[in-house]
Structure 1
């Protein structure tokens, strides 16, 4: 069973109520939830939330009825890993079968395509890592144009190499962790305590599909790009 998962906590300081906020005609969560429910490789879907309205909405659309997220997993500081572990265990119990892959979509990254989900699943099945994590090429590179001050306040390249790097193209490849799409081996999720304990490999996505809504500006940008993609007027 490939288990699709979305985490949607009620609280949000940057954009209040963002997970259920209308985005181009439907709640933001539905841009990800509909992708899971409609994807041919996803066998079951679960939404982990402490918001009763989001929970009832998700179950009505076809998500497994696992109940609300425990309070200790609904705080600002609750780690994603613990939320995943609880969601998978509860979903497996509800569905009556074990997961063969845990597929998480971040509902604050609504610009991914269904083909991105397929690509991440294909990479997971082909390479058999502990985890596939979506990334995009970093706009700034610590070997070239990210700098930090020393104890005197003077700036230096964050990760200097012998001889220096004087062209972006010559710098080692660096990725941004894109909060969009993850595929995790269930046994790894059960035993590990954090994301990077095992073999985590990158699934590269275009930067324009990896924008994560964390501020009102992000929401406006995503809305503009989504309207453009949908061919809607402003």
Structure 2
């Protein structure tokens, strides 16, 4: 992967509703976003690691914690209804302009998934380089199955399994293999990302991570769980 040009972005809005200020909230002695910056840098495969945010406070924290670039996100890309993909594209364009490089690959990792390892990022990069896939993303084996214990409720109030098979699945383990997107690592071939601006291509690949590295922080309970797991891992190391 080092033979190729690649960038990494970390997109972090300032207006979190589930846990206000979570992107820079102290987690085991460091701002939450600092853990992802550190992991991206330790992966050793990126020309630059950039943080994109509408918040000057977040950008300042990013600079002080090792980000190569702090990219101010336009207000129209930072509303409660804004999708993430336009922010990624904007950051990629900024990076290519600043460095004068057209990347071969682009990665985006979530600030709210700090339990990944640099090796996970490198493994995703290897998948892209060796398979020729347009995109790759990380996931973990699903704890719930749409064929067994994930249900929906229809407009008429009827409750039913989200998916079915010709024969009823009697044990979760007997159903088709399912995965939870763990909001940790996303990677693309640059041209596929720029032209299609999506994740799911016909050749998109999956990188499977263990559950203990796949927690995504959305609220206070998630934060406490991740803090406990991180401390346990540090004590074990």
Give the TM-score band, short-chain normalised: over 0.9
Among residues 157, 161, 165, which one is paired with 2:165 in the alignment? 161
Unaligned runs of 5+ in 1: none
Q: Aligned equivalents of 1:143 and 1:65: distance in 2?
A: 44
- 1:101-159 Cα offsets, whole Å, 9 max, x none, are 11111010001111111111111111121110111111111112223345664433221
Tell me which moved more, 61-70 or 97-106: 61-70
Residue 95 of structure 1 pairs with residue 99 of structure 2: yes
| Structure 2 equivalent of residue 106 of structure 1 | 110
Between 1:66-75 and 1:92-101, the stretch displaced more is 66-75
Once the two structures are superposed, residues 72-120 of structure 1 have per-residue CA deviations (whole angstroms, 9 ceiling, x without a partner) of 1111211111111100011100011111111111010001111111111
> Alignment partner for residue 55 of structure 2, among 31, 51, 64?
51
- Match of 1:185? 189
**Cα pair 1:137 1:175 within 8 Å, conserved:** yes
Distance 1:65 1:141, change over 3 A: closer
Among 187, 190, 208, the alignment partner of 1:204 is: 208
Q: Distance in 2 between matches of 1:80 and 1:150?
A: 29
Farther off after superposition, 24-33 or 122-131: 122-131
User: Distance in 2 between the 1:117 and 1:187 partners?
Assistant: 20
CA 1:154/1:53 → structure 2, altered by over 3 Å: closer, same or farther?
A: closer
Task: Please say if 1:76 is aligned against 2:80.
Answer: yes
Cα distance in structure 2, aligned partners of 1:181 and 1:168: 27
> Which moves more between the two structures, 32-41 or 102-111?
32-41
TM-score of the two chains, using structure 1 as the length reference: 0.92
| Structure 2: runs of 5 or more not aligned | none
Distance in 2 (alpha carbons) for counterparts of 1:185 and 1:48: 20
Contact 1:5–1:103 at 8 Å: present in 2 too?
Answer: yes
The count of aligned residue pairs is 232
What is the RMSD computed on CA atoms of the aligned residues? 1.8
Please, what TM-score do these two structures have when normalized by structure 2?
Answer: 0.91
* Mapping for residues 130-149 of structure 1, pairs under 5 Å: 130-149=134-153
